[in-house]
A and B are shown apart, each in its own frame.
Chain A
Amino acid sequence: MRVDVVMPQMGESIAEGTITRWMKQVGDMVSRDEPIFEISTDKVDAEIPSPAAGRLIEIKNAAGETVPVNQVVAVLETDASAAVSAAPAVAVAPATATAPAPAAAAAPPAPAKAPASSPEPTRTEGAFVSPVVRKIAAEHGVDPESIPGTGAGGRVTKKDIQDFIAKGGAKAAPATAAPTAPSMPAAAPAVTFAPGARVERQQMSPMRKKIAEHMIEPRRTSAHVNSVFEVDMTRIVAMREKYKPVYEERHGTKLTMTPFFVKAACDGLRSFPVVNSSVEGSEIVYKKDLNIGVAVALEWGLIVPVVRNADELSIAGLTKKINDLAERARAKKLLPDEVQGGTFTITNPGIFGGLYGLPIINQPQVAILGIGGIEKRPVVVADAIAIRSMMYLSMSYDHRVVDGAVADQFLAMVKKGLQEFDESLL
């Protein structure tokens, strides 16, 4: 029998581990609980014992690779006499609710008629079954794969399964009759199918996983509120055009818009320190340093390098620093401490023409500034209609500590800082 060796979850908040060393090689015999590889997760090194006795027949990830928890990293053959791959490794879940035959591996699933509709006989691998649906399915002894899904990509929604059960779908298969595949390793992910859904299943990259965690966390923690201001950027657009060649020549760097926003934000943060704070328990922690995170979109995700003590840099200094960080972010050459310790974040939802975005706060910070797209619009200036380069400036802030009045005063100050930008700073 084959037993999967997975990246273990060394802690609730640990999503991945880096394999530092294989202590056993393919072909080696290992006993149960004998260490087979070592992993490293920031301040913790751990050796991982074998889940069973047997021969190591496959190593999927080499030393140095970072692997999400519960992903299979190696395979053991526990049956000494087993020929190479006599049986398929993947156990197939019970075919249908109406025919709860034991999950014999490799048995071609007979097209079975589900009560509510006729799913295509061909099973499409990989549809996602949500934990809620899986739980309800288990409680009622229903095979979620036999239920027609109405959700995205044929996904079975909570309502689908409830309707299915209400129509008597569950009666055909009492809970006790749901067998578990005896040969299925406990840690193997459940293989799920949705009738008729053409899907492809892909493991999230460690970065994707981190982003996912990092994005859901503030939603649970912060009390998000949004404000949007309109800013006349005509002056800055002109200034940038004027100084672009000068910067190329004098500083060897491209003058972008970002340094203007960082500068204006710093001035606002100094005047409204609570916007640069964090919440720890019942305390507000005011950060004395203005470490501004600047979101950089990457082809494979998103990263927020941090400009430390941004208020101490000139516009030229900011330009160089930001360009350098962004470049190295794209080249995957940022140092770990260059993405940590941010106290406030600026992101630019406007790069593809969006008017504005309402970003998620970057915990443990309490506010994030969103830069909308700049476009020429007719506006009223001194009771006349003029063509100006306009932009929406949005901010999401944590209402636990930042009240609307403070946020709006902060934004008003940033707006003023941008509209009346001091040219001598360039």
Chain B
Amino acid sequence: MSRLRCAFLGRVPYEDAARLQERLVALRRSGESDDLLLLLSHPPVITLGRNAAADHVLISDDDRLAAGIELHEAGRGGDVTFHGPGQLVGYPIVALREGRRDAHRYLRDLEDGLIATAAAYGIAAARVPGLTGVWVGDAKLAAIGVRIGTGWITSHGFALNVGRDLAGFDAIVPCGIRDRSVTSLTGLLGRELALADVARTAARCVAGALGYEAVWEESALANDSIAGLSWPPVAGGPR
């Protein structure tokens, strides 16, 4: 079985992570990089997918800045979402192989991986037909929004709510769906989980769902490098 190199990068500003993804996608396309799964968290940020409706951001710019929430456009599908420190974000940078080159199949595979992750903690999560993501009852546990580049190279990915603090979601209409709430692993279990531990579980489950064996890159952070890139990739670079 092919290997998926997985690494937990800790808390990374959204813009830096976006640029890292761009570079890794280019390297993956030219064959200079392996299939990767980046796991990380972001400082509070609202991101707008390509299909985002402006009125799904409920917070005023002033209030948003006062709360220390950044706002970025993201080159992914989907509507508005919020990322914060309590959330495990996963960005698979993989070249989808023949037989898996189906955008919907890829979404469903990611959902399967996240449902398996929740199951590893004893939580029965499910998909809701027509509403991409992973749900526990009517509440969203994980959001998905992806990009597929030339050569079926994926980027962007999923955001799994781990920590209890989901206040940032109050600032938006998550994914443009008004009548449903959000939930988290901690909220459902009633005990705190370390993001790094959940990252390991998610790596194993998501890799499995995508048809890979997860290989954990313990040294990614220690060596400040991943796929031969120094980390952070473009700190202080042009803005």
Contact = CB atoms under 8 A, between A and B. Distances in A.
Interface of A: 10-14, 20, 33-35, 40-49, 308, 336-337, 340-341, 364
Q: Which of A20, A44, A49, A341 has the most CB of B within 10 A?
A: A44
Given A33-B150, A42-B132, A13 B104 contact: yes
Nearest to A48: B150
Interface in B64-109: 75-78, 102-107
A46 B152 CA distance: 9
Given A13-B104, A49-B151, A43 B132 contact: yes
Interface in B200-219: none
Nearest to A309: B179
A232 to B, nearest CB: 37
Given A40-B77, A45-B75, A337-B177, A10 B148 contact: yes
B11 interface: no
B149 A47 contact: yes
A44 B102 CA distance: 11
Given A49-B150, A337-B177, 16 more contacts: A10-B103, A12-B105, A33-B150, A35-B150, A40-B77, A43-B49, A43-B78, A43-B107, A43-B132, A45-B49, A45-B148, A45-B156, A46-B149, A47-B149, A341-B130, A341-B179
* Chain B interface residue number, banded: 20 to 34
B129 interface: yes
A45 B50 contact: yes
Nearest to A337: B177
B130 to A, nearest CB: 6
A315 to B, nearest CB: 22
A48 B103 CA distance: 13
A18 B3 CA distance: 34
B107 A46 contact: no
Given A40-B77, A44-B103, A340-B130, A20 B149 contact: no
B146 interface: yes
Contacts of B107: 43-44
Contacts of B132: 42-43
A45 B102 contact: no
Interface in B108-140: 129-132
A14 B103 CA distance: 8
B191 interface: no
Contacts of B103: 10-11, 14, 41, 44, 46
30 contacts: A10-B104, A11-B104, A11-B106, A12-B102, A12-B105, A13-B104, A14-B103, A33-B151, A35-B149, A35-B150, A40-B50, A40-B77, A41-B77, A42-B77, A43-B132, A43-B145, A43-B146, A44-B77, A44-B104, A44-B146, A45-B50, A45-B75, A45-B77, A45-B148, A46-B148, A47-B149, A308-B179, A337-B178, A341-B130, A364-B129
